[in-house]
Structure 1
């Protein structure tokens, strides 16, 4: 008897109907994305974009010659040089100082460690005016520390050195708090492996630890620099505010606003934004370059 085989019928699934034809819109991968994105755009426009646009447009009421004349004024040039120069110097000093404090708080246990760790955040919590008054009281010629410096002929308050001290004070927490999480997450086994392979303590720090900490260190220094450039409250008391000597750019902006020279104040503010933005570009380019070398 001849056997017969029958092929099973092929059942094809129905062709998918587009979501639009079914009468509803396909749900987004991120629920609420449209509302959240709209809120972010509106918020950034009101807080960042519109003020920056106004700052960029207002100076040109003076015309190109007026803007150039304002920014090349010796008093304005001296204030900008003082603010950016001391801010960069304070941020660079905070780099090794913040690294040392973060390393000590992370790697060692000692009495009072929690108290010192809390004191690092004091510049964050302390009002800037209060910080300025406290620093001036300490470093004034009749103050506890200023009188000691006065004996060796070093003037602290009412001088560029006093401004530098204030900027170091307000910028230090940014470096410490940027480094602490990286140090806490740093794998100790990598250091032990380097020690097993014969690396000295200096070699372990330079070749193993520092390359890992470098991006966080640069970020902390950048934040400290950005905070120092715009600092006002903690500086004006200890600076002395002498034109061409200890007058910072934010104070000069306030002076022009009090004189109803809004375009001139905006011109100085725009110059500060441009210089700060250029510094951030250089710092980010440096980070990218170092990251590229690290992958090789």
Structure 2
């Protein structure tokens, strides 16, 4: 009876050499661009002490800004998940005049400066703007409200969902849907049983990217929000306000709080994505 224990393999064998070099460069790159800047936030905020840090974290203004930032970012990511999937479906499943133009316009928020987007959206949705004046008689105010912030975040982050879902949808063979129809499945059943399980990991990834992009947005939101403390003040603006007041420790403390909450939320999203992927495989 052979009781020899096989050595553990920490990596798969590859025909391409250079694992040590490429792994070292990868770790150095991540450390230089991610780990060191993030660690400096916690190092600078540690000078406050635990008690002062907790007082800042639980202050009414900080909690209100966190509620606005995370609430509007999450809502914007949900909207983008729904309509981004719809837009990706139209671009991949149908052929129509102007398709290439629409496909190119999706990437416009990537190229457009955020300040320009903020000014344009504020002018458009203000009470005397083209769209804002239509809602003004109904008592609906868009600019300088959380609704306006959400619209701005939807605008700057919706390409992430489309560009994440589109390649996966392109790889799904339409013959699979036709086979399901031949077996008696309705269009809704084929979409729910075949398309959605395939798209779910990519859709969750797009949602996470859209949420992360919206959470850190500053340029477009600072114009349309009105920057009213306790009402429409976002956390990035609060951090900048503290830094302009030379309260560097307080600013980094708020940034650390935002980093911790963001990391926990993204961790939950990634775990859900892993669960959805494993469920689809089984």
TM-score normalized with structure 1 length:
0.88
Partner of 1:127: 113
Partners in 2 of 1:46 and 1:100 — Cα distance?
Answer: 38
Partner of 2:55: 69
Aligned residue pair count: 269
TM-superposed CA distance for 1:246, in Å, is 0.2
Partners in 2 of 1:40 and 1:288 — Cα distance?
Answer: 23
Partners in 1 of 2:18 and 2:279 — Cα distance?
Answer: 40
Partners in 2 of 1:132 and 1:207 — Cα distance?
Answer: 40
Partner of 2:137: 151
TM-superposed CA distance for 1:286, in Å, is 1.0
Of 174, 179, 182, the match for 1:188: 174
Partners in 1 of 2:82 and 2:26 — Cα distance?
Answer: 37
**Superposed counterparts of 1:211-226, under 5 Å:** 211-226=197-212
TM-superposed CA distance for 1:41, in Å, is 2.9
Of 256, 270, 273, the match for 1:270: 256
- Counterpart contact for 2:161–2:206, Cα < 8 Å: yes
Deviations 1:62-106 (A, max 9, x none): 111110111111001100011001111110111110011111111
Of 86, 90, 94, the match for 1:100: 86
Partner of 2:126: 140
Structure 1 or 2, whichever has the larger Rg, is 1
Are 2:160 and 1:210 equivalent residues in the alignment?
Answer: no
Partners in 2 of 1:180 and 1:29 — Cα distance?
Answer: 31
Deviations 1:227-266 (A, max 9, x none): 0111000100000000000000000000000011111111
**Superposed counterparts of 1:21-40, under 5 Å:** 30-31=16-17, 33-40=19-26
Helix, strand or coil at the partner of 2:49: helix
TM-superposed CA distance for 1:33, in Å, is 4.7
TM-superposed CA distance for 1:171, in Å, is 1.4
Partners in 2 of 1:49 and 1:129 — Cα distance?
Answer: 29
Q: Structure 2 vs 1, CA of residues 259 and 216 (structure 1 numbering), >3 Å: closer, same or farther?
A: same
Partner of 2:40: 54
Partners in 1 of 2:141 and 2:18 — Cα distance?
Answer: 59
Helix, strand or coil at the partner of 1:212: helix
Of 223, 229, 240, the match for 1:237: 223
TM-superposed CA distance for 1:187, in Å, is 1.1
TM-superposed CA distance for 1:280, in Å, is 1.2
Q: Which structure 1 residue ranges, 5 or more long, are not aligned?
A: 1-27
Partner of 2:279: 293
Deviations 1:159-180 (A, max 9, x none): 1110010011111100011111
- Counterpart contact for 2:198–2:280, Cα < 8 Å: no
Q: What's the C-alpha RMSD, in Å, of the aligned pairs? A: 1.4
Are 2:68 and 1:82 equivalent residues in the alignment?
Answer: yes
Partner of 2:9: none
